[in-house]
Amino acid sequence: MSYRVGVDIGGTFTDFCVFDEESGGLHTLKVLSTPEKPGEEVLTGIQELERRHGVAPGDISYFTHGTTVGVNTVIQRKGINLCLFTTENFEDVLEVARLKMPDPYDLFSRRPVPLVGREKVFPIPGRILFDGSEEIPLDEDAVLEALEGVRAVGGDGVVVALLHSYRNPSHERRVIEIVKREAPELFIVSTSEVWPIIREYERTVTAVVAGYVQPRVSHYLGSLQDALGKAGVPAEPMITKSNGGVMSAEAGKTRCAQMLLSGTAAGVIGACQIARMAKVENALSLDIGGTSADVAVVRSGMPQYGIGEMIGDFPIFIPTVSVTSIGEGGGSIAWVDPHGVLKVGPESAGSNPGPACYDNGGERPTITDAFVVSGFLGQSELGYGNVTMRTDLAQKAVATVAEKLSMSLEETAEAIIKVGISGMYLEVSKLVSRYGIDPREMSLVAFGGAGPMLACHVARELNMRRIVIPLTPGVLSAFGGLIADIKNDFIRTVYLDLDTTTAGTIRDGFAELREAAMTWIRDEQGFGGEATLLHSADLRYRGQSYEIDTPLELEWLETGDVAAIEAAFHREHERVYEHADEEAPVQVINLRMVVVGEPPKPALPLLAKAEGDPVPVGSVEVHVDGGRQPAGIYRRGDLRAGHRFQGPAIVTQDDCTTCILNGFSAEVDEYGNLILEAGE
Amino acid sequence: MAIDSVTLEILKNHSRAAAESMAFTLYRTAHSAFVKETEDFTTGLTTPEGETFATPTELGATWFVGLNYKNVIDLIDHYDEGDICLTNDPYSGYVCTHSPDMHIWKPVFHEGEIVCFVVGHIHNTDVGGAVPASLSRTLSEIHQEGVRIPPAKILRKGEVNDDVLSIMLANVRMPEQNWGDLKAQIASMNTGERKVHDMIAKFGIETFKEGIAALLDYAEDQARAIVRDLPDGQYAFADYMDEDVAEGYPCRIALNVTIDGDSLVFDLTGSDPQIEGSVNMPTGGEVRHALMMVGLVYVLYSLDKKLFLNSGISRVCRCILPTGTIVNPEFPAAVGLRTLSVQRLQAIIFGAFVQAAPDKLPASPASGGPIMNVNGIDNRTGRRVVASTGPIVGGAGGNPHEDGTEGSGANSSFLKNTPVEINEAEVPIKIVRYGLRPDSGGPGKFRGGMATVMHFVSQAPNTRITARNRDRTRFTSWGVLGGHAGATSQFLLNPGTNHEVNLGNTDILTIGPGDEMLVACGGAGGWGNPFERDPAAVLLDVQRGFVSMDSALQDYGVVIKDGAVDEAATTKLRASEPGKVNGAFYDYGSGRDAFEVVWTEANYAAMTELLAELPVHWRFFVKHRVFEAIEALDDDALKGDGSEIRTVFADVIARYPQLQMSA
């Protein structure tokens, strides 16, 4: 026997997705997360998998894991007592940031309080210039003085952030040597090690977030390795990364900056895989949970990457699967403002107390309660039997709002859903305009606990015609981790004009990146399979202050084909901004390299073919579109490839409910994905 | 309201989605780096009558929530489907407020009827005129500030009108960039139009029409509810710019706010005559001009962040803007640098409202920091570089609950800086220091935010530095309820050397290799008595390098010994010096206090009253003669009751018989 196990730890639940290599079967499981004892839920789940599905720990041959321990450490501000060494006279880099405030209309708007207070920032005299030359030598005595400062504030660790270290890291390296010699007990990391990009705030905040969480993440990964070992799991755990790939847990201990958004990124990787299986080229990935909805763009089956993605309050600038988080989910609370206008959110009942219908103390109506009142929810147990729906409590909660609006319960429920959906529409509209894409030409891949419940409403609002609900919508991040590639990113700032005189420098730069990439995947990751190298560069027109990551072909680099590189940039610029200037000089800011190793992928099982029509297990009246309609109830497990039925309908499964509205037809594809199409 | 409240909320989200989508489209497809860097643009949707019912909040300038396009819409006599109009003339309808702002609007038709307009503007880097970038405080006529396009169709039934376009492009310095940005504006109009058609399809035309009117009513109702919570009364406040023109005299903007139930009146009577420079605010005397509403929107939104932002808000307010003054100049006064006066006006509005709600609103934000530009040859490439090295700004004022934000905030929250490493890569300068300026924030129970400071060395000869909007070297940001005023701004050449020059409010100069420049913004005002500040917070400020030991002792009465607060000594010191608080509501700082020893409220009011009786073209001239004459008076001739002004004024008038002949 041999199993591949993907695990994703979320705020409330920890999800498991198991692939049985012999039978080709998929199993899923959710257990409650134990944030106070991270790792314990993994062991609970492994025991539960053995009990329920006979998965012996000794038979687990591949294990991937996404964790929020890093991001939660930032959100809860429970990282180490970190200090920062900066170039003298530039100590306010975190305080000043890039100046801009989150809400420019609000006189009280504030930037988040930095993770390192200004009193823990110590100056280091010495200066490297833009070209990498040393203007003023490093003041080594000042390093000792700064160490005194660290001791005085009880610091546990230090980030070293000196100007222009992306170009010449020698001062940063020397500081690290001195600190390691003088204070070996301190954790220390430099900005050039974490992610060596130009722009001092961006480089510093990335390293500070990473440094702040690293000892904790490292400790967590160590205990996970131990626990898995004790449980008899032979596989060396792999960790899912923000870039949508995986790396060994051992590597994660020192490179935790790369795994801060591991769970969300893996969800998008899962959505990309679902899109490819459903033969969908372009899609919006929509992961809706209790408090938020994560939206991502899938193009040609691939995720989009962003920089400046948020870790709690802070942006980090290493390549990350781009996900926009909308503060609205199944738990968003409905209320009525003093002018009699119905609002939904931003407050959320979250997972505790959760919606009123969960009978966990929640009294205010949520979107989920509105679905209960309208008859769509409450038809089966949710959360693997952990949650029972109380229709009466949902009605009671919705009634509080209905009274203020002088509307019936059902009308109010529908109004809550529509207002909530219009809020999501607003945020998704911004996202698609930012990318310049038209959602009407895309499919919606909906997952997460509340995604399948809201998918038809969202699609209607956005005029999207096609929805894909994966077979295991509740555990798609765990699934995404299972199929992710081993992957790492490398960057080198060159800041050059692109012309024939610089082609050699660019070629040499890539040669160095290539060497680093191969060392990583062969030596650090011990991966012996075929490794793919992807070359690209951050290019811009001279005078611009933003770059476009432009994919390049190795041949252009080797032959110094500057014209081909320029042409590729003009095309990318045209695609992204709808115009290009073929006469304008082009600058190369960064060279980038991605190394990808594909571990053997599970062959996903095909669903048995349907014979005849699907048989509903029941029928219920739902209130939708202003009236009552009968809706068939189907069990997801009963559905077979080729089954077709019409909305309104309800599809229930262990971890979520799919609500299919009138006008949508449903079809089950060969992998078990539920494909919903809007009628004309 | 006729439309049901559920549909209204959904329509509100769709309207905002349309405005936000327009903004993202414009931002994404704009050509100039300036638009991308400064986000100095807007988009919006208006009713057929021109009232803005939806604006974006995520991208773009914060100034034009209250903009009403009616005047320019009416200046076009007929619209066809596919038309797009534009204007950048501040004196055609008073929608555009300086010539770099190209405003554009497109009617959206449904079955032959105009059901709304999609609108917006971009600040162009240059629109021609006397100086590159079209803005300088030395300009005094609108004609010097670039080409002016009165309202005209740039697209007729979807076809580009080359007659208008060619005139515009022939008159600007970087025509390709202007045309590129205009194309982005057109793309954003089309996005907005498509979104409006989607909304009509979803909601039905009648609901749409009713709904957009209801959205204005809704914002108005919300705004009225906020105003109703403020105590009725009259709240007067005035403040100055250091100079009306280079090396000139102070320039006052005076405001009297009347809160009456749920309505407001802003009376700007008593403000200075229009300036022979370019800091005038072109409002046309419109009772709800957008420039007058910026500060109001900030105040109301800060009091209730659920406020939906559209021009319904401005219905609660009416302005009195006397003609021939800085707040309503007559043609052809230059208006290019109204940024400085509008920002001062915003803080004056804050100053009036803080009297009405001192427990809810902050002290004055910082100002006086410029947007720095460097124009020089890069030794490394031999190329001329013209680049912005970023804004030098300051923090927010202290507020009833916490300190003002450091480095930026309040009404400068939308600005972004340029990284030191990028500046050194792109511009022929080396930066010696960039960060917060100690002791710049006004002390208070909750202190003002610290200002930023940049100190750099020029690397090349003939490097031209422009520092647009320099101010606050004399009149500083005010504190309230015992909080102190912020520090003055600074602009020094070769600081700390024997050839140091204090550049005051200079905004342009040429420096050479090795020359050092230090530019620092003024600090924000403090809130509440600094002797009541938690000593631990003062200690932390000292440890952070924000507050000096001297200031801790002098301003805060906190004794720090060996890195800790000496509790006993602090208590004793604080008890012995309660006299630090003089009981005044505002602390204006020493510059203004000294000025107002001579220029009392009665004196200044007497002067503006007398000037208002003169022909407009004489006022600025006579103001300067009056200032000269008052400067020449002996101290004992100063009574501060307006009488010396009347005497001096009569003397000045008598000196100029030509004035008698003037109409």
pLDDT in tens, B157-193: 999 999 999 999 999 998 988 999 999 999 999 999 9
Q: How confident is the model at residue A384 (pLDDT cuts 50, 70, 90)?
A: very low
Q: Which of A349-358, A526-535, B307-316 has the lowest mean pLDDT?
A: A349-358
Distance of alpha carbon B430 from alpha carbon B426, whole angstroms = 10
Place of tokens 């100034």: B63
Distance of alpha carbon A486 from alpha carbon A238, whole angstroms = 9
Burial A513-545 (b: 16+ CB within 10 A, else e): bbeebeebbeeebebeeebebebbbbbbbebbb
Q: Please state which of the four CATH numbers 3.30.160.270, 3.60.15.10, 3.30.420.40, 3.30.930.10 is assigned to the domain occupying A1-66.
A: 3.30.420.40
Residues in B closer than 8 angstroms to A93, CB to CB, are 435
Q: What is the DSSP string of B405-436?
A: PSSS-GGGTT-----HHHHHHHSSEEEEEEEE
Has residue B545 been placed in a domain? no
Same domain, B377 and B479: yes
Distance of alpha carbon B337 from alpha carbon B277, whole angstroms = 9
pLDDT digits (tens, 9 = 90+) for A643-673: 999 989 999 998 789 999 999 999 999 999 9
- Per DSSP (E only), the strands in A207-267 are 238-240, 246-248
User: Residue B537: pLDDT above 50?
Assistant: yes
A571 min Cα distance to partner chain B (Å): 14
pLDDT digits (tens, 9 = 90+) for B599-611: 999 999 999 999 9
Strand order in the sheet with B451-458: B429-437, B451-458, B516-520, B490-493, B501-502
Q: How confident is the model at residue A642 (pLDDT cuts 50, 70, 90)?
A: very high
Residues in A closer than 8 angstroms to B424, CB to CB, are 129-130, 164
pLDDT at position A13: 81
Strand order in the sheet with A548-552: A26-32, A13-20, A3-9, A60-66, A238-240, A246-248, A486-497, A586-597, A531-541, A548-552
Residues in A closer than 8 angstroms to B31, CB to CB, are 579, 581
When pLDDT is averaged across residues A611-633 and rounded to a whole number, the result is: 92
Q: How confident is the model at residue A381 (pLDDT cuts 50, 70, 90)?
A: low
When pLDDT is averaged across residues A290-310 and rounded to a whole number, the result is: 90
Both tokens of residue A449? 């606990």
Distance of alpha carbon B443 from alpha carbon B487, whole angstroms = 10
Is B528 within 8 Å of B483 (Cβ atoms)? yes
Per-chain mean pLDDT for chain B: 94
Has residue B428 been placed in a domain? yes
> Percentage of residues in chain A with pLDDT exceeding 70?
99
Residues in B closer than 8 angstroms to A110, CB to CB, are 405, 409
When pLDDT is averaged across residues B374-394 and rounded to a whole number, the result is: 90
Number of H helices, E strands in chain A: 17, 35
Has residue B535 been placed in a domain? no
Q: How confident is the model at residue A263 (pLDDT cuts 50, 70, 90)?
A: confident
A412 min Cα distance to partner chain B (Å): 9
CB contact under 8 A, A418 and B6: yes
Residues in B closer than 8 angstroms to A546, CB to CB, are 36
B590 min Cα distance to partner chain A (Å): 26
Residues in A closer than 8 angstroms to B294, CB to CB, are none
pLDDT at position A543: 80
User: Residue B580: pLDDT above 90?
Assistant: no
pLDDT at position A435: 84
Residue in chain A closest to B421 (alpha carbons) equals A199
Both tokens of residue A652? 């229930």
pLDDT at position A380: 61
B610 min Cα distance to partner chain A (Å): 37
**A interface test, pick of B1, B3, B7, B10 with most A CB neighbours within 10 Å:** B10
Q: Which of B502, B529, B556 is the last residue of a domain?
A: B529
B428 min Cα distance to partner chain A (Å): 11
DSSP B272: P
Strand partners, A314: A311
> Inter-axis angle of helices B616-632 and B601-612, to 10 degrees?
150
For strands A187-190 and A157-161, give the pairing.
parallel
> Inter-axis angle of helices A170-182 and A140-152, to 10 degrees?
50
pLDDT at position B269: 97
Report how many domains make up chain B: 3
Residues in B closer than 8 angstroms to A425, CB to CB, are 13-14, 17
For strands A314-316 and A309-311, give the pairing.
antiparallel
Q: What is the DSSP string of B163-185?
A: HHHHHHHHTSS-HHHHHHHHHHH
Output the CA–CA distances (angstroms, integers) from residue B537 to A118, B483, B540, in the order listed.
13, 15, 5
Distance of alpha carbon B105 from alpha carbon B603, whole angstroms = 46
CB contact under 8 A, A101 and B414: yes
CB contact under 8 A, A433 and B430: no
When pLDDT is averaged across residues B240-255 and rounded to a whole number, the result is: 95
Q: Of B507, B474, B494, which Cα lies nearest the Cα of B131? A: B507
When pLDDT is averaged across residues B350-356 and rounded to a whole number, the result is: 98
Domain range for B503 is 362-529
Q: Of B502, B524, B281, B293, which Cα lies nearest the Cα of B398? A: B524
pLDDT at position B388: 85
User: Residue B387: pLDDT above 50?
Assistant: yes
Residue B231 exposed, middle or buried by CB count within 10 Å (0-12, 13-18, 19+): exposed
Question: If you count residue pairs, one on A and one on B, with CB atoms under 8 Å apart, how many are there?
Answer: 207
Q: Of B327, B371, B358, which Cα lies nearest the Cα of B525? A: B358
pLDDT digits (tens, 9 = 90+) for A440-486: 889 999 999 899 999 999 999 999 999 999 999 989 999 999 999 99
Has residue B461 been placed in a domain? yes
When pLDDT is averaged across residues B247-275 and rounded to a whole number, the result is: 97
Residue in chain B closest to A428 (alpha carbons) equals B17
Question: Which among A105, A117, A418 has the least Cβ separation from residue B62?
Answer: A105
Residue in chain B closest to A121 (alpha carbons) equals B544
CB contact under 8 A, B396 and A578: no
pLDDT digits (tens, 9 = 90+) for A73-130: 998 899 999 999 999 999 999 999 999 999 999 999 999 999 999 999 999 999 999 9
Distance of alpha carbon B514 from alpha carbon B505, whole angstroms = 22
CB contact under 8 A, B6 and A342: yes
Residue in chain B closest to A136 (alpha carbons) equals B432
Same domain, B26 and B153: yes
Residues in B closer than 8 angstroms to A343, CB to CB, are 9
More confident residue, A577 or B49: B49
B657 min Cα distance to partner chain A (Å): 51
Residues in A closer than 8 angstroms to B435, CB to CB, are 89-93, 95-96
Residue A50 exposed, middle or buried by CB count within 10 Å (0-12, 13-18, 19+): middle
User: Residue A23: pLDDT above 90?
Assistant: no
Output the CA–CA distances (angstroms, integers) from residue B481 to B363, B409, B641, in the order listed.
9, 21, 26
Has residue B336 been placed in a domain? no
Has residue B31 been placed in a domain? yes
User: Residue A307: pLDDT above 90?
Assistant: no
User: Residue A507: pLDDT above 70?
Assistant: yes
User: Residue B663: pLDDT above 60?
Assistant: no
Q: How confident is the model at residue B239 (pLDDT cuts 50, 70, 90)?
A: very high
CB contact under 8 A, A422 and B191: no
pLDDT at position A68: 84
pLDDT at position B576: 85
For strands B479-480 and B516-520, give the pairing.
unpaired
Q: What is the CATH number of domain A486-597?
A: 3.30.1490
Has residue B255 been placed in a domain? no
B62 min Cα distance to partner chain A (Å): 7
When pLDDT is averaged across residues B191-210 and rounded to a whole number, the result is: 95
For strands A586-597 and A531-541, give the pairing.
antiparallel
Q: Of B360, B525, B515, B502, which Cα lies nearest the Cα of B440? A: B525
Question: Which among A103, A108, A166 has the least Cβ separation from residue B399?
Answer: A108
Place of tokens 């095909």: A606
Residue in chain A closest to B411 (alpha carbons) equals A107
Per-chain mean pLDDT for chain A: 92
> Percentage of residues in chain B with pLDDT exceeding 70?
99
pLDDT at position A601: 80
More confident residue, A582 or A88: A88
Place of tokens 């409002």: B283
**A interface test, pick of B8, B13, B189 with most A CB neighbours within 10 Å:** B13
Cα angle at B456 between B452 and B460, to 5 degrees?
150
Q: Which of B222, B245, B261 is the last residue of a domain?
A: B222
Q: How confident is the model at residue B2 (pLDDT cuts 50, 70, 90)?
A: low
Question: Which among A91, A337, A495 has the least Cβ separation from residue B425?
Answer: A495
Distance of alpha carbon A223 from alpha carbon B401, whole angstroms = 43
Q: Which of B510, B529, B548 is the last residue of a domain?
A: B529
Is B105 within 8 Å of B167 (Cβ atoms)? no
Both tokens of residue A33? 């997360």
CB contact under 8 A, B13 and A95: no
Q: Which of A200-209, B236-245, B653-662 has the lowest mean pLDDT?
A: B653-662
CB contact under 8 A, B17 and A429: yes
Distance of alpha carbon B564 from alpha carbon B116, whole angstroms = 64
User: Residue B37: pLDDT above 80?
Assistant: no
pLDDT at position A40: 87
When pLDDT is averaged across residues B305-330 and rounded to a whole number, the result is: 97
CB contact under 8 A, A578 and B305: no
Question: Which among A91, A338, A430 has the least Cβ separation from residue B21?
Answer: A430
Residues in A closer than 8 angstroms to B420, CB to CB, are 90, 163, 200
> Inter-axis angle of helices B290-303 and B338-356, to 10 degrees?
40
Has residue B230 been placed in a domain? no
Residues in A closer than 8 angstroms to B419, CB to CB, are 98, 198-202
Both tokens of residue A558? 């080797």
Strand partners, B122: B41, B102
Both tokens of residue A385? 């039997």
Q: Which of A61-70, B111-120, B353-362 has the lowest mean pLDDT?
A: A61-70
Both tokens of residue A70? 């890093």
Q: Which of A33-37, A238-242, B273-277, B541-545 has the lowest mean pLDDT?
A: A33-37
A164 min Cα distance to partner chain B (Å): 7
When pLDDT is averaged across residues A251-274 and rounded to a whole number, the result is: 92
User: Residue B348: pLDDT above 80?
Assistant: yes
- Number of Cα atoms under 13 Å in the Cβ half of residue B211: 27
CB contact under 8 A, B543 and A89: no
Cα angle at A95 between B35 and B367, to 5 degrees?
60
- Per DSSP (E only), the strands in A353-502 are 443-447, 466-469, 486-497
pLDDT digits (tens, 9 = 90+) for B517-531: 999 999 999 999 999
Same domain, B621 and B503: no
CB contact under 8 A, A103 and B452: no
Q: How confident is the model at residue A434 (pLDDT cuts 50, 70, 90)?
A: confident
Q: What is the DSSP string of B222-236?
A: HHHHHHHTSPPEEEE
When pLDDT is averaged across residues B272-300 and rounded to a whole number, the result is: 96
CB contact under 8 A, A92 and B435: yes
Is A673 within 8 Å of A277 (Cβ atoms)? yes
CB contact under 8 A, B20 and A198: no
Both tokens of residue B415? 């600005």
When pLDDT is averaged across residues B448-473 and rounded to a whole number, the result is: 95
